[in-house]
A = this chain, B = another copy of it.
Amino acid sequence: MAIKIGIVGYGNLGKGVETELALNPDMELTGVFTRRDPAQVPSNAAVYPLDEITDFKDKIDVLILCGGSKSDIPVQAPVLQQNFHTVNSYDNHAEIPAHFDSINETALTNQTVGVIATGWDPGLFSLNRLVAESVLPKGETYTFWGKGVSQGHSDAIRRVAGVKLGVQYTLPNDDLITEIKEGKEVSYTKTSSHKRVCYVVPEEGADKEGITKDIQTMKDYFAEYESEVHFINEAEFYQQHTGMPHGGRVIRRGYTDEANMAVYEFSLDLDSNPQFTAAAAIAYARAAYRLAQEKQYGAKTVFDIAPAYLSPKSGAELRKELL
Q: Which of A24, A96, A256, A257 has the most CB of B within 10 A?
A: A256
Distance in Å: Cβ of A29 to nearest Cβ of chain B: 15
Number of contacting residues on A, CB 8 A?
69
CB–CB B301/A272 < 8 A: no
CB of A130 within 8 A of chain B? yes
Question: A304-B315, A310-B131, A319-B100 are known contacts. Are A270 and B262 too (CB-CB below 8 A)?
Answer: yes
Q: For window 265-289 of chain A, which residues contact chain B by CB distance below 8 Å? A: 265-272, 275-276, 278-280, 282-283, 286
Question: A97-B316, A260-B275, A323-B126 are known contacts. Are A134 and B267 too (CB-CB below 8 A)?
Answer: no
Contact partners of A126 in chain B: CB under 8 A: 322-323
Distance in Å: Cβ of A238 to nearest Cβ of chain B: 16
Q: Which of the residues B256, B278, B303 comes within 8 Å of A19, measured between beta carbons?
A: B256
Contact partners of A128 in chain B: CB under 8 A: 266
Q: For window 222-261 of chain A, which residues contact chain B by CB distance below 8 Å? A: 247, 254, 256-257, 259-261
Q: Which of the residues B138, B272, B315, B316 comes within 8 Å of A260, measured between beta carbons?
A: B272
CB of A129 within 8 A of chain B? yes
Distance in Å: Cβ of A61 to nearest Cβ of chain B: 17
CB–CB A269/B279 < 8 A: no
Question: A133-B322, A308-B130 are known contacts. Are A262 and B283 too (CB-CB below 8 A)?
Answer: no
Q: Which of the residues B93, B131, B260 comes within 8 Å of A323, measured between beta carbons?
A: B93
Q: For window 283-310 of chain A, which residues contact chain B by CB distance below 8 Å? A: 283, 286, 301-308, 310
Q: How many Å lie between the Cα of A266 and that of B263 in the bound state?
A: 11
CB–CB B304/A308 < 8 A: yes
Q: Which of the residues B23, B138, B282, B311 comes within 8 Å of A138, measured between beta carbons?
A: B23
Copies per complex? 2
Distance in Å: Cβ of A269 to nearest Cβ of chain B: 4
Contact partners of A282 in chain B: CB under 8 A: 135
CB of A49 within 8 A of chain B? no
CB–CB A256/B283 < 8 A: no
Q: Which of A262, A268, A316 has the most CB of B within 10 A?
A: A262
CB–CB B308/A19 < 8 A: no
Distance in Å: Cβ of A229 to nearest Cβ of chain B: 28
Contact partners of A308 in chain B: CB under 8 A: 130, 303-304
CB of A200 within 8 A of chain B? no
Shortest Cβ distance from A275 into B: residue: B256
Q: Which of A24, A122, A128 has the most CB of B within 10 A?
A: A128
Q: Which of the residues B256, B303, B316 comes within 8 Å of A307, measured between beta carbons?
A: B303
Q: Which of A134, A279, A315 has the most CB of B within 10 A?
A: A134
CB–CB A311/B97 < 8 A: no
Question: A316-B97, A323-B303 are known contacts. Are A271 and B275 too (CB-CB below 8 A)?
Answer: no
CB–CB A135/B127 < 8 A: no
CB–CB A303/B301 < 8 A: no
CB–CB B266/A271 < 8 A: no
Q: Which 5 residue pairs are nearest across A and B when measured between Cβ atoms?
A: A256-B275, A260-B271, A134-B310, A260-B272, A303-B308
